[in-house]
Amino acid sequence: MITAKARAVDGPDKPFRAAEIKRRDLDSQDILIEIKFAGICHSDIHTAHGEWGPVNYPLVPGHEIAGIVTAVGPHVTKYKVGDRVGVGCMVDSCGECENCLKGEEQYCLKGNVPTYAGVDKYGEPTQGGYSTHIVVTEDFVVRIPDSIELDAAAPLLCAGITTYSPLNHWGAGPGKKVAVVGMGGLGHMAVQIAHAMGAEVTVLSQTLSKKEDGLQLGADHYYATSDPETFEKLAGRFDLMINTVSASINMDAYFSLLTLDGTLVNVGAPGEPLSLNVMSLIGHRRSFAGSMIGGIRETQEMLDFCAQHSIVPKIEVISADQIDEAYKRVLASDVKYRFVIDISTM
């Protein structure tokens, strides 16, 4: 067994504390990764606070992981010691169901194994990237291109793929009008990716406070949703909308912004149910969809795409002792745009 230093939380209202966790010995196709950086995702906060259901505490969150391979199992063929690699939101799946065979492991019919707050095939609880080391089967590891720094790469493993996947699936590109709802950790990635795909990009944010950033990152237009005239002016405008907001919003108002056959895709995951009037969809054959992360193949495609187009998140690097403060600042929308933990500070 491998002992890793970590930061763990013991309950919904508890602060993070220093901890040691055990990582399994390497199986034949496992690799040992020395984690260099781990991003903080809003999902970490929801889970740590027990907002998405019961949690088996103590919990080590973190599913935006960037590091270096330090050991490999005897049958590993994809990676070698010294490789720059990443791990995202899942570390295993059944590998046999229809969705897994299609390369859509995130939708495994038996349920994928999440990087933390799950149970692995050995019956052990999974613990995430707020730690110095992790052991993962090679099929759930991706290669980080040399042109992307490891600290900037970490948020791509969730924020990057969570926005790339729906933009890719629903065909964002030249001739398409794409709206990004929310200008946070997910939203600022969606803007860059949609722009690089060739779409006309509009940001819909509560205020204009981040307008300069949005335009700099590639948005063509930027509107405040707190202004009622925004919804009148943009009615029937967009082919695709990516809603990155993890809070309840007036869905019917946003549906009114879709064109004929337009689609609104939710990637933000509010803790409470959303309500809508189905007539908002029926009237113009509009669609309301959801999307998770991407599969491993698509995640590697996303990393290569970001490297090709020089897309990286805007990050603030923090020490391990600043996690609690960072959580508070995320909830207060006081970050531009993703916190990343320097694991050397463990």
- For the stretch 148-205, pLDDT in tens is 999 999 999 999 999 999 999 999 999 999 999 999 999 999 999 999 999 999 999 9
How is the chain split among helix, strand and coil, in percent rounded to 5? Answer: 30, 30, 45
pLDDT at 289: 97
> Residue 330 has which token pair?
């995320």
* Cβ-Cβ contacts under 8 Å for 24 (sequence gap 6 or more): 1, 2, 30, 122, 124, 135
Cα dihedral: 167, 168, 171, 175 (round 10)? 70
pLDDT at 31: 98
Contact 128, 256 (CB under 8 A): no
Q: Where are the alpha helices (DSSP H) in the chain?
A: 42-48, 98-101, 150-153, 159-169, 187-197, 211-217, 228-233, 251-255, 279-282, 296-308, 323-331
> Residue 274 has which token pair?
């959303």
pLDDT at 320: 98
Rounded to 5 degrees, φ, ψ at 177 are -100, 115
Cis peptide preceding 337, ω within 30 of 0: yes
Contact 190, 243 (CB under 8 A): no
> Residue 319 has which token pair?
């020490």
Q: Say which residue the tokens 């034949």 belong to.
A: 28
**How far is Cα 346 from Cα 1, in angstroms, rounded to an integer?**
19
Q: Which amino acid is at 224?
A: A
Contact 188, 313 (CB under 8 A): yes
pLDDT at 137: 98
pLDDT at 339: 98
pLDDT at 15: 96
| Distance separating the N- and C-terminal Cα atoms of the chain | 19
Instruction: State which residues of the chain have pLDDT below 70.
Output: none
**How far is Cα 29 from Cα 23, in angstroms, rounded to an integer?**
15
pTM for the model stands at 0.95
**How far is Cα 204 from Cα 211, in angstroms, rounded to an integer?**
10
User: What length is written for the chain?
Assistant: 346
**How far is Cα 203 from Cα 178, in angstroms, rounded to an integer?**
9
Cα distances from 15 to residues 59, 60, 129, 320, 331, in angstroms, run: 11, 12, 17, 12, 15
Q: Report how far Cα 36 is from the mean position of its chain's Cα atoms.
A: 18
DSSP 296: H
